[in-house]
Structure 1
């Protein structure tokens, strides 16, 4: 059983011990995180969702991520989700966007960026969550970003990806 904290629109905890899968009460939200991973060579990691997923089964997405669990903030959830779904341990996660409120799905979403020098063949897949991965160039990602080949990203996130210039970070 996975437990979540529930929050108001401002991110204040209003309830704890909410069981995943239960209806989220009106006026409350759970937190989700998405992490876009770029290799130092410029390629982006895309992950293939498991065929067992309830939504978008078997589709590729440009993010690792998921729900934060009870007691986690956005960044802690992002570190955990990134490691669980890819095996990547990030020292630094950069916020890509301010918190986005998704009324229709009842969640608060925070997007992160991870620049890594991990061995590109060492990605570890999480059973039941992911079943494959690819590394694509920025041009390849942008070419499929508005097609059914890739789970759609908001234009705000795509524009932010185009602006990322993190080459000055020392990854050694």
Structure 2
């Protein structure tokens, strides 16, 4: 099935143009990408393992569910759909905490990133065929070794380190 997206200007303003996945995006236009970090009420983080056949970052864990907003979808509706499709977790808009909004010029993407706390049975996470092959809930105490030992999408690895680990590092004294 062909996937269509709304086209946006760099400032986030929606245009009347329509983009198609796989076709070049005209210069000066962007499409909306959404991501959501899922944190369990026990503070463990959900990581999904990308399918080995994915063109970008195959067999890497990602610290989010997400993807492109489809034609007509708001950022919030898109992330609810993506989380449901990729993890089986049914979020409500009220659970979403908007974290970051940034532009990746080289990819012609506008990113909206969220996080949400869930209180679900951890084993009920589902995989999406041709998208994900495994999942793991990582406890906060296990994050450093997980990040060191597993393949993660580099941008997400850096974000997880900044969000959850940097505050714990002792201050370095310059002598």
- TM-score, normalised to structure 2, is 0.84
Q: Which sections of structure 2, spanning at least 5 residues, go unmatched?
A: 167-175
The structure that has the greater radius of gyration is: 2
Runs of 4+ residues deviating >6 angstroms:
none
Contact 1:144–1:150, Cα closer than 8 Å, also in 2: no
User: What residue number does 2:136 align with?
Assistant: 134
Q: Number of aligned pairs?
A: 162
For 1:109, what is the secondary structure of its paired residue?
strand
* CA root-mean-square deviation: 2.0
User: What residue number does 1:159 align with?
Assistant: 162
Structure 1 residue 15: deviation in Å?
3.9
User: What residue number does 1:124 align with?
Assistant: 126
Change in CA separation of 1:16 and 1:146 when aligned onto 2, cut-off 3 Å: farther
CA distance in 2, matches of 1:123, 1:13: 33
Q: Give deviations 1:37-64, integer Å, cap 9, x for gaps.
A: 0111111000000112111111111111
- TM-score, normalised to structure 1, is 0.85
Contact 1:96–1:157, Cα closer than 8 Å, also in 2: no
Structure 1 residue 143: deviation in Å?
4.5
